[in-house]
Amino acid sequence: MNQPPGATSLHPIGIYDSGIGGLTVARALSKVLPNEDFIYFGDTAHLPYGDKSTAAIQAYSVKISEVLLRQPVKAILIACNSASAAAFELVKEYAGSKAIVLNVIDPVVDFIKTNYAGKKIGLIGTRQTVQSNVYLKKLNALDLEIQLSSLATPLLAPMIEEGFFNNNISHNVIHEYLDSPVLNGIEALILGCTHYPLISKEIEEYYKGRVAVIDSSDLAGKAMAAELSKLGILNEKGMGTKRFFVSDYTRSFAESTQIFFGEKAELEHYPLWE
């Protein structure tokens, strides 16, 4: 891809998600790219995306991309797996001439391509992500005999959002899901949701080292760094400033930022439709 016109190293990176769960991705990104400025958009007015139709997620995604391009941003990272599955192609078509557009699925597919040819892999995510079959289509297209077994785990995101992780409740819910025969014999498990990095330790404990746990947030951060560097628009001298927009503001969203970002983030209310 050529450098998008107007995009310079000094422009911020836009990241969006259905809510504040994507702050796990923002956090991973800011670790890899500490000098980049970020604008995060959480579509809290419309969450969860995991149970929405593809058409609805596409409409929200285009609107958010419009807001991000207006800032302007040099790149848009779709931090949400459900939106990456439902709207990546459309957002790329809409914004791709003005900004780099990346998702959280392709970096995982690249990683699997390199490390798991001929192996059986598991995927957990929202209903939207699993039912879209996007991972399956992308892995099948590699023609590397990778077998994918997917399980929708819709209870995990709300459970984590309510602060239930690293406790008995999360232990039982995680075990109930991972005991599913669908995931028998896998060698790696893709954490296909913004929220799951927060339970990755519990998932690793469940498998006791038998199954590798693949965290898409880390891989997405590295993919963004590689893309910016390839295009010569890395910001190596910036201050790493961050702004956080949400389409609906409540105190509980503000309080939950600590869970996902590791520190309190100052949320700015930015309605998508006036």
Q: Compute the least distance from the CB of residue 182 to ligand DGL, in Å.
A: 19
Strand order in the sheet with 13-17: 100-103, 75-78, 13-17, 38-42, 242-246, 267-269
Instruction: Work out how close the CB of 67 gets to ligand DGL at its nearest, in angstroms, rounded to a whole number.
Output: 18
Is 193 annotated as catalytic? yes
Q: Does 132 bind ligand DGL (CB under 6 A)?
A: no
Task: Using the minimum distance from each CB to ligand DGL, give the nearer residue, 80 or 87.
Answer: 80
Residue for token digits 């984590």? Answer: 160
Burial of 17 (0-12, 13-18, 19+ CB in 10 A): buried
The H or E element spanning position 230 is helix 216-230
Binding to ligand DGL (CB under 6 A) within 181-200 occurs at 193-195
Residue 80 annotated as catalytic: yes
235 three-class SS: coil
Compute the Cα dihedral for 35, 41, 44, 47 and give only its sign. Answer: negative
x/- mask, ligand DGL, residues 18-37, rule CB under 6 A, reads xx-xx---------------
Does residue 153 belong to the site contacting ligand DGL (CB under 6 A)?
A: no
Task: Give the interface size with ligand DGL as a residue count (CB under 6 A).
Answer: 19
Query: Which positions lie near ligand DGL, rule CB under 6 A?
Result: 17-19, 21-22, 47-50, 80-82, 125-126, 129, 157, 193-195
